[in-house]
Structure 1
Amino acid sequence: MFETLNKRIQDCLAERRSRRTRLVTKDGRCNIEYGNIKYSKHFAFLADFWTTFVEIRWRFVLFFFIASFTLSWFIFGLLWYWIARSNGDLTWQNPASDHTPCVDNVVGLTTAFLYSLETQTTIGYGGRALTPLCPGAVALLIIQSLLGAIINCFMCGVILSKISLPKKRAKTISFSEMAVICPKNGTLCLLIRVANLRKTLMIGSQIYGKLLRTTNTPDGETIIMDQVNIDFNVDAGKDNLFFVCPLTLYHIIDKSSPFFEMAVDTLHKQEFELVVFLDGTAESTSSACQVRTSFIPQEIMWGYNFLPIISRSKEGKYRVDFSNFSKVVPVATAHCAYCFHNIKGHHHLFREGHDNQAFEVIDIGDASNVTKM
């Protein structure tokens, strides 16, 4: 009993370790760190300060937004205080009754700060006003007005750019949690389902994949992240997809496919990561974006197929049932790709170890009204 328990614990830890070490997470973030970067290279981020500000986290954007305005108000407040002090306008300097100040009602540091804030934000309450007797005060007013306009434009541009980032559009593109391997159109294929949750289209959409794995060359060199191209297709082609409804992508497992040497009992023992990319242009904003996700061997189900989710009502209206988006059903599938292509009729219905516990068949319409797309 203890050996069985220990084996289960080891398998659980191995599975958690494989999931944690994936390069691309399910939501498309890249799990990679950069080390030993030369200190001089950090100045490149300052040279490209616009991209740096757009890419930093929201908490830092809000911090810089508050700090830039508050600091500029305080610095110019000190300058206004210095001008008032140079002209003898402050209360503790006991100005004469007929003394004409540079700025009316600026008699201390607090009033100088308030005048700086009112000047830069163009509030103008009317209690404090500049007089034409101090040329330096006039020049400072011009400088602060110009600098305030620059800060306003820059910070508003950063916030608008972050709000409209194309990667936000990628949040409404959803991939299935699992990939499946089953026969399709007379060939053995790896299938993935993808859906656009918005009614606006992704123009010029293209689907492709990369298989990441560690390989050893004949010269004894170990390549940690060897990339192999994986071609995906849909029934209507692979370029310029009409992405108006969920699509089922498929990769043909033939002799040129890296999955050809795998079998149902060896698939989950492999060490690789399948990264799937979808590139397109958002119809509403004309901004290009990329959606990506990844699948590890434990997320590929051999001998299963996706449930249909598109139907047509009697009124002729198409309906997409997303409750079946990631649900699968077992189908007769060959034990391996070699058996499928070389041994006719070598199929089996594989169930053990891959049963989907959340599987539930949902009736989405009359059988006569189901439309395959």
Structure 2
Amino acid sequence: MMTPRKSDVHRRIVSKDGHNQVRIDNVEGLVQLYLHDIWTTVVDMKWRYKLTLFSSTFIMTWFLFGVIFYFIGMGNKDFEGELLSNHTPCIMNVQTLTGAFLFSLESQTTIGYGFRYITNECPLAIFVLVLQLVTTGLAEIFVTGAFLAKLARPKKRAETIKFSKWAVICWRDGKLCLMVRVANMRKSLLIQCQLSGKLLSPNITEEGEKTLIHQTAVDFYMDSCGECPFLILPLTFYHVLDESSPFSGLTAERLQTCDFELVVTLNATMESTAATCQSRTSYIPQEILWGQEFQPVLFSTPSGRFIADFNFFDKVQVNTNNPLLSNNTEKQRLEEEYNNE
């Protein structure tokens, strides 16, 4: 499963903070694909682009319809120097492009100062006003909805889920386990939490086909089950390195020469909104410590309260009772017994 490293370049598919590191290139018609799903494109925009789109939507529609009203008035000869006594302008008190822009702004934002208004002698201007209110209303609903959708995305909630900087391998309950620590940084609960992993490594099939990335499932458990009812305390999830594990046969020496990436994903439901969120991180061999264990992070006070001290969240210590640290004879005996089970 895991192959030796050929260089010191540690490429990641997923960064430590959970972002995708894969660059998409040479896709034909990528712009059309993004425009076809315009809603997702707008929601995924960075905040600086979204704020620009939000403000420009209002400004451009005000200006565009202001220009249209100006041309309507020009076609009706409202801007000529001397007007006939019986001439009724399309829009009263609009003599310049600036005035037409202000009328468009007042109409779209329903300010309605009453100084500028459409007369009943110009059906075209009335039609354009109705068109403006309908069109811009739909545009504002779309942009405002995308703005709010980005604010309410579960992705922001996932940023308050903390993974340990290191993963450790040590013995637990007589089994060799790979452990990862996870914590919820908010007081609001995350329910139905489930941690899963994917081992990404180069692979050669039986037919001789080489694949740069081969995905293998890595199951994580907490105590006796794989699903946690709620995440309120810093918890440690573990994966047993048995014969069915993709890490089967892994040793401390092999760990330093392997080329793989372990992507760990936490899926949970937010108790407050019932929306699902997902947070992820990844570990390369240099971030997996052999023969280490996490230091305690949960302490009790004399008053009976529990305190989670995050100064110890990423700290590890050597397990002096770990069979991995015994002499070579004892180590070999334990490995043989473990392999024979």
Structure 2 residue identity aligned to 1:102: C
Structure 1 residue runs of 4 or more that deviate by more than 4 Å after TM superposition: 335-339
Displacement of 1:343 after TM fit? 5.1
Deviations 1:212-242 (A, max 9, x none): 0001122211011111111111115112433
Distance between the aligned counterparts of 1:93 and 1:236, measured in 2? Answer: 89
Deviations 1:316-356 (A, max 9, x none): 21211111001011013427997644258xxxxxxxxxxxx
SS in 2 for 1:149: helix
SS in 1 for 2:24: coil
- 1:35 aligned onto 2:25: yes
- 1:301 aligned onto 2:289: yes
Q: Is the 8 A contact 1:275 1:294 kept in 2?
A: yes
Distance between the aligned counterparts of 2:26 and 2:188, measured in 1? Answer: 44
Distance between the aligned counterparts of 2:103 and 2:51, measured in 1? Answer: 24
Question: Which residue number corresponds to residue 364 of structure 1?
Answer: none
- 1:250 aligned onto 2:244: no
Deviations 1:164-218 (A, max 9, x none): 1111111100000001111101111111100001111112111110100001122
Question: Which residue number corresponds to residue 70 of structure 1?
Answer: 59
Displacement of 1:97 after TM fit? 4.5
Displacement of 1:98 after TM fit? 4.7
Instruction: Tell me the number of residue pairs that the alignment of Structure 1 and Structure 2 aligns.
Output: 328
Distance between the aligned counterparts of 2:323 and 2:56, measured in 1? Answer: 62
Displacement of 1:34 after TM fit? 2.0
Question: Which residue number corresponds to residue 129 of structure 1?
Answer: 117
Q: 2:77 aligns with which of 88, 92, 96?
A: 88
Q: Is the 8 A contact 2:54 2:144 kept in 1?
A: no
- 1:45 aligned onto 2:39: no
Displacement of 1:121 after TM fit? 1.1
Q: 1:277 aligns with which of 230, 242, 265?
A: 265
- 1:224 aligned onto 2:212: yes
Give the root-mean-square deviation of aligned CA atoms.
2.1
Distance between the aligned counterparts of 1:333 and 1:267, measured in 2? Answer: 17
Distance between the aligned counterparts of 1:119 and 1:340, measured in 2? Answer: 82
Q: Is the 8 A contact 2:57 2:140 kept in 1?
A: no
Deviations 1:8-27 (A, max 9, x none): xxx9xx54x21xx1110001
Instruction: Give the gaps of 5 or more residues in structure 2.
Output: none
Question: Which residue number corresponds to residue 342 of structure 1?
Answer: 336
TM-score by length of 2: 0.90
Higher relative contact order (CA 8 A, sep 6+): 2
SS in 1 for 2:231: coil
| Aligned ranges 1:1-373 → 2 under 5 Å | 15=8, 17-18=9-10, 21-39=11-29, 42-90=31-79, 92-331=80-319, 332-334=322-324, 340-342=334-336
Distance between the aligned counterparts of 1:131 and 1:339, measured in 2? Answer: 98
Distance between the aligned counterparts of 1:85 and 1:30, measured in 2? Answer: 55
Displacement of 1:149 after TM fit? 1.5
Question: Quick one: structure 1 residues 135 and 169, their matched pair in 2 at CA, closer, same or farther if it must change by over 3 Å?
Answer: same
TM-score by length of 1: 0.83
Distance between the aligned counterparts of 2:210 and 2:35, measured in 1? Answer: 36
Q: Is the 8 A contact 1:211 1:227 kept in 2?
A: yes
Instruction: Give the gaps of 5 or more residues in structure 1.
Output: 1-10, 345-373
Displacement of 1:122 after TM fit? 1.2
Q: Is the 8 A contact 1:68 1:151 kept in 2?
A: yes
User: What's the % identity of the aligned pairs?
Assistant: 42
Displacement of 1:120 after TM fit? 0.8
Deviations 1:87-134 (A, max 9, x none): 2211x4432355321111111211111111111111122221111111
Deviations 1:68-95 (A, max 9, x none): 22221111111111111122211x4432
